Amino acid sequence: MDARSDPIAAAVDEDTTDALLLWVLVWSELAAFGILLVGFLVVGLIQADAFAAARAHLDPLLAGINTLVLLTSGWQAALATRPRASLGKRRRALVGAALLGFAFVAIKLFEYSTEAGVAGDPQFGSFFELYFLVTGFHLLHVVFGAFVLLMVAWRPKPGNVALITTLWHVIDLVWIVMFPLVYLV
């Protein structure tokens, strides 16, 4: 396959500086989330009973549904990078990914509304503080990423499509790691 048949790869190869900056951004995001999740796990070990009691107030089924929503969004984003995708298909895939990202946000906000009532209970230790910090930081990334997906859908240049879909997959990856650590451990 050459550059003419894969415009996404050609755009990324075209300017290695942009690709380097993309990977610096990806690894910095992974490091930031890694630090937050390690902190969550360490405090969870120290306050094991409080964390176990607090987890009983989470809804892993709703979080599982949200996981499927986000992964479906990532699938839509991947469709946008297909080498032979027409401009219309690329745009529809990016818009679909963004809309599913906003659906994730809506479900997460509903989930937050059910958890807010118990979040201030001191018997849960630091669980909800860290829970809202970690999941809220991820939620902000989803909101921002969904808006960028829509902006790129408006003008889906191959380099921009490659950039946002790569970052969108990083957001997916972070959630895939976060979901079991926060809801199931």
> How confident is the model over 17-71, as pLDDT tens digits?
567 888 898 999 999 999 999 999 999 999 999 999 999 999 999 999 999 999 9
Contact by Cβ (8 Å): 168, 74: yes
Question: What are the tokens at 82?
Answer: 């297909």
Q: How far is it, in rounded angstroms, from Cα 146 to Cα 161? A: 13
Tell me how far the alpha carbon of residue 39 is from its chain's centroid. Answer: 19
What pLDDT score does 120 carry?
A: 85
Contact by Cβ (8 Å): 84, 133: no
Question: CA torsion angle for 149, 155, 161, 163 (degrees, to 10)?
Answer: -80
Give the count of beta carbons closer than 10 Å to the beta carbon of residue 42.
Answer: 11
Q: Does residue 11 surpass a pLDDT of 90? A: no
Q: 58: alpha, beta or left, given left = phi > 0 and alpha = psi -120 to 50? A: beta
CA-wise closest residue to 59 among 101, 115, 102: 115
Q: What is the CATH number of domain 7-184?
A: 1.20.120.80
What pLDDT score does 83 carry?
A: 87
Q: How far is it, in rounded angstroms, from Cα 79 to Cα 154? A: 16
Q: How far is it, in rounded angstroms, from Cα 116 to Cα 22? A: 36
Condensed to tens digits (0 to 9), the pLDDT of residues 67-113 reads 999 999 999 999 999 988 899 999 999 999 999 999 999 999 999 99
